[in-house]
């Protein structure tokens, strides 16, 4: 089922603007309607003015009317899994209702999915909207 996410993230990765690090990242989100939204990292010479692939994908989801992340795939051009950074984990959390129910796939452009875990495994100790209300 994640093959469609892989293809979307890989296509986005190919469009990444990473002239400084040459580290191209793509991300694809499946939202609560089943729609897929992809994004890539966009670097800027005035670091840290650029942004990561995950918030780029979140932005596409919101513009399209999606509300919640149900599944995520991140693809980087390294041999080790490309984990979302801490800030991206927090940004993703804003659009996740149940961290145990969201699947996160980490992929390599040629080898495909190399690791799958839950968002709760990726980000075990969260502080989000639910914690503000308790």
Q: Does the structure show a pLDDT above 90 at 130?
A: no
Helix, strand, coil % in the chain, rounded to nearest 5: 30, 25, 45
| Enclosing domain of residue 96 | 3-133
- Number of structural domains, the chain? 1
Q: Is 52 helix (H, G, I), strand (E, B) or coil?
A: coil
User: Which residues are tagged catalytic?
Assistant: 54
83-112 pLDDT, tens digit each = 999 999 999 999 999 999 999 999 999 999
Read off the CATH number of the domain in which 50 is found.
3.40.140.10
For helices 53-63 and 3-13, give the axis angle rounded to 10 degrees: 110
pLDDT digit string, tens, across residues 74-91: 999 988 999 999 999 999
**What pTM was computed for the model?**
0.94
Task: Provide the percentage of residues in the chain whose pLDDT is more than 70.
Answer: 99
């Amino acid at each position: 089922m994640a093959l469609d996410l892989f293809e979307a993230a890989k296509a986005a990765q190919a469009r990444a603007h990473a002239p400084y690090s040459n580290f191209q990242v793509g991300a694809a989100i499946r939202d609560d309607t089943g729609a897929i939204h992809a994004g890539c990292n966009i670097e800027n010479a005035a670091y840290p003015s650029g942004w990561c692939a995950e918030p780029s994908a979140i932005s596409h989801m919101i513009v399209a009317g999606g509300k919640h992340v149900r599944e995520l795939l991140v693809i980087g051009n390294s041999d080790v899994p490309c984990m979302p950074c801490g800030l991206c984990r927090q940004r993703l959390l804003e659009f996740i209702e149940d961290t145990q129910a969201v699947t996160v796939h980490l992929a390599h452009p040629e080898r495909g999915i190399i690791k799958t875990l839950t968002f709760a495994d990726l980000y075990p100790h969260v502080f989000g909207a639910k914690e503000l209300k308790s």
